[in-house]
């Protein structure tokens, strides 16, 4: 009876390891795709916009030096 329990645990552990490996591969692939499509210069990204698009929204998550100084002044004024 005990050897049957050990066999079941071994199979479930192998399935768990396989699932973790698949999730890690998906996460790595998603990260690479994100960097490929979204980390482009402005002109490169503009080429991805369809010509019949009604609206385009851009987000710049890397502030410039001037923006950092401005945000610091705003934070100090709010305090």
Question: 43 and 51 in contact (C-beta within 8 Å)?
Answer: no
What range defines the domain where residue 12 resides?
2-78
Structure tokens at 4: 């049957």
Q: Where are the alpha helices (DSSP H) in the chain?
A: 2-38, 42-46, 65-78
Number of domains composing the chain: 1
- Rounded distance, CA 9 to CA 15, Å? 10
Comparing 3 with 39, the larger pLDDT belongs to 39
Return the pLDDT at 24: 96
pLDDT at 9 over 70: no
pLDDT for 12-67, tens place per residue? 678 888 899 999 999 999 988 888 777 666 666 777 788 899 998 877 777 788 88
Task: Establish how many alpha carbons lie within 13 A of residue 1's alpha carbon, considering only the half-sphere containing its beta carbon.
Answer: 0
Return the pLDDT at 42: 65
């Amino acid at each position: 009876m005990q050897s049957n329990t050990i066999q079941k645990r071994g199979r479930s552990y192998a399935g768990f390891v396989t699932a973790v490996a698949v999730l890690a591969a998906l996460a790595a692939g998603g990260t690479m795709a994100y960097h490929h499509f979204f980390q482009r210069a402005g002109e490169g990204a503009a080429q991805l916009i369809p010509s019949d698009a009604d609206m385009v929204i851009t987000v710049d998550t890397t502030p410039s030096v001037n923006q950092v100084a401005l945000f610091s002044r705003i934070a100090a004024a709010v305090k």
